[in-house]
Structure 1
């Protein structure tokens, strides 16, 4: 039995990752934040690609020695760690003022969207995107309307 993904399935997952991350990137672009469309799309696309490579390796080593098989959760851990560095790099502290936390979180979330799309859970990836967009836009507007709100993140 051949469980490998077809090229169309892989392309669909990669497009879903990039397309859903585009939604978050648009929100950041509209707010003129440094990490926007391309950044979010590339993070999600990269995360999905790493997962697809891991799935392909897992499939290729599936019939052989169990010691030669890879653990896909280790790929997820590596992707999350790498994206964490990107997100942290978008956070700027100047005295008591901190900016970029929402952008850092959205980059990290773009990685999660890519991972979900990479393993083929497109419904989860879409739900995460929708919830993130609601949080970033609706709750962002509420935050900015508060009288004690000082930052424009």
Structure 2
């Protein structure tokens, strides 16, 4: 009975549990920030990436000890599996990058997923202080630098992208007229067929500081064939 128990729980079991839990907490903090901002990859995604990366690192460190002890000619590189994690996580990050009417969104979330994978690897290697410090840096970057960045993009330098989901027969010229009535300059218009008869119309404009978005969206929603209006 003891032999069977030892097969399931070895000397490194509790160390592994601690590292997985730390990876869960740290990656969850970053994911929670993304969840609050309604990004495509949020709380659960970041936790899965962080814990999964930590698990791969733990596998690389402790998963092959029995083979090394049993066979003298066996050699292994503990960095081999983590290197595949770092390169492979890019595919998941690419899935969060979307294009809306010429505007690319999701780059920051893709970068946070890549960073969380690195956090998982670092925690799996037992570098707790580095992991906690890096988590704080990432959170500060996501929360505070976003507001700091907006200070330099005011005054028309930033673009507003309005997404209109519509049924067939929507007069595009009327939509443009409503936007121009709000003293907004239309920079780009892109129409994409979503599914069935629905279309997504992305309109990029130069916003003004005193823009009443609620009034603008109400005016656009009042147009025939408009299903929904949102900001991207």
Cα deviation for residue 96 of structure 1 reads 2.7
Could you say which residue in structure 1 is the equivalent of 2:43?
37
Single out whichever of 46-55 and 137-146 deviates more from structure 2: 137-146
The 1-side partners of 2:34 and 2:25 are apart by 15
CA distance in 1, matches of 2:19, 2:91: 24
> In the superposition, relative to structure 1, how do residues 104 and 12 fare at CA in structure 2: closer, same or farther (>3 Å)?
same
Deviation of residue 45 (structure 1)? Answer: 0.2
CA RMSD of aligned residues (A): 2.0
Q: TM-score, normalised by structure 2?
A: 0.60
Q: Secondary structure at the match of 1:62?
A: helix
Question: Which one of the candidate residues 114, 129, 132 is aligned to 2:135?
Answer: 129
Deviation at 1:70, TM superposition (A): 2.0
Structure 2: segments with no counterpart, 5+ residues: 1-9, 161-230
**Who is 2:26 aligned against?**
20
On the 8 A contact 2:30/2:43 being kept in 1, the answer is yes
Q: TM-score with structure 1 length normalisation?
A: 0.88
Q: Say if 2:91 is the partner of 1:91.
A: no
After superposition, the C-alpha distances for 1:7-54 in whole angstroms (9 at most, x for unaligned) are 211011000111000110011011011111100000000000011111
Give the aligned length.
149
Match of 2:72 among 56, 59, 65: 65
CA deviation after TM superposition for structure 1 residue 93, in Å: 2.1
Distance 2:138 2:11 in 1: 29
Q: Which residue of 2 aligns with 1:149?
A: 158
Distance 2:142 2:126 in 1: 25
Out of 111-120 and 135-144, give the one that drifted further. 135-144
SS at match of 2:135: helix
Higher strand share: 2
Where does the alignment leave 5 or more consecutive residues of structure 1 unmatched?
none
Is 2:114 aligned against 1:114?
no
